[in-house]
Amino acid sequence: MNNSSIALVVCYFGNLPNYFGLTLKTMAANASIDWILLGDTPEQINCPNNVKRIHMTFPEFLKRIEMAGNTEVKVNSVYDIYNFKITYGLAFADYLSRYDYWGYTDLDILFGDLRTYLPEEILSNFDRIHCRGHLSILRNSLEVNSAFKLPTPGCIDYRKQFIDQSNGQFDEWKGIHRIMRYHGFHQYHKEVIADIRPSRRYRIDRFETTELPNYENQLFYWYNGKTYRAYLHPEGGIYDEEVAYIHFQKRSFPAPDPKLHLSGGFGIGPSGFFPYNREPLTPDQFSELNSGRWKSLPEISKEFFGRIHRKLKSFNPS
């Protein structure tokens, strides 16, 4: 039985993914976990009961980060906030004080049954569980929440990191993971996620994970509160492998059919979302789901101008 209370913080500024409704659906299925959606997301969003929406402007957000670290913060744009995730335990202590554990996560994710991967014996014995920037969970104590401030050989000082965003991964391997390892905190990590490789500049590739082994014919889907990677067994059947969540690295998709928000299951592939309730798939259908394609000229143009826009759009928090 899981008795520890957990809250996951999502800070987001700007446009939401067009599949955000499905991400909310997967959050709602994790009923024993609370989610704090913090930022300037539209007020008309209808959040499930376990998702608390807190409106906060970007300058207000930066002020909290500065107070948490007692240091100056400089950013080039809202996309730099990933470097500050590890401060959330202090920066948003007023929202997190009643929880045993808190975590930071992203929105380009479909969440599975996270509690399956957070048994009480792991929670009680580790200070940080899972070590990805897109989802990490920490013991809610002053010692753990302040760990990012500890000087560590071979690791950039957080005060320099917070004014120079050219040094990445402070929220995972090159930053907080190295700091906590050096100072004797207990960290737990196991590869239990489907971290989907990004598409290339001119081509949309089939779904492949960065850490787990890949198969010639594989399918990723959400069904009744869980996320899976399935693949075609050599003898003809389909083998289902549960994962904690599916993370999309810099992938864009067509907006999903609103009917999927009410469905018990849906699949996801390079071309987008589709109804899927564990119906049998033929080898030809598997093959189609595992085919890449070259991007169209409108897609290439849209992404090109989007990159230019992000580079030019610096954010002045004053």
The pLDDT tens digits along the chain (318 residues) read 568 999 999 999 888 899 999 999 999 999 999 999 999 877 778 899 999 999 999 999 999 999 999 999 999 888 888 889 999 999 999 999 999 999 999 999 999 999 999 999 999 999 999 999 999 999 999 999 999 999 999 998 999 999 987 777 899 898 999 999 999 999 999 999 999 999 888 899 999 999 899 999 999 999 999 999 999 887 878 999 999 999 998 888 999 999 999 999 999 999 999 999 999 998 899 999 999 888 888 877 877 776 676 666 544 544
CA distance 153 to 150: 10
CA distance 187 to 181: 7
pTM greater than 0.85 (yes/no): yes
Q: Where are the beta strands (DSSP E) in the chain?
A: 6-12, 34-39, 51-55, 101-105, 109-111, 128-132, 135-139, 187-188, 194-196, 203-204, 218-223, 226-232, 238-243, 245-248, 265-269, 272-275, 293-294
- The neighbour count for residue 237, using CB atoms within 10 Å, is 9
Per DSSP, the three-state class of 158 is helix
CA distance 135 to 157: 22
Give the pairing of strands 128-132 and 34-39. Answer: unpaired
In this predicted structure, what is the pLDDT of residue 32?
Answer: 97
In this predicted structure, what is the pLDDT of residue 53?
Answer: 93
Hey, what domains does the chain have and what are their CATH numbers?
A: 6-188 (3.90.550), 194-299 (no CATH)
The number of angstroms, rounded, from the C-alpha of 301 to the middle of its chain's C-alpha atoms is 27
In this predicted structure, what is the pLDDT of residue 317?
Answer: 45
One-letter amino acid identity for 264?
Answer: G
| Residues 137 and 130 sit within 8 Å (Cβ to Cβ) | yes
The number of angstroms, rounded, from the C-alpha of 298 to the middle of its chain's C-alpha atoms is 28
Using CA of residue 174, residue 177, residue 181, residue 184, what is the dihedral sign? Answer: positive
In this predicted structure, what is the pLDDT of residue 147?
Answer: 98
Residue among 191, 205, 218, 210 nearest 283 (CA): 218
In this predicted structure, what is the pLDDT of residue 106?
Answer: 95
CA distance 80 to 270: 27
CA distance 168 to 170: 6
Write out the two tokens for 202.
């001119």
In this predicted structure, what is the pLDDT of residue 318?
Answer: 43
CA distance 265 to 201: 30
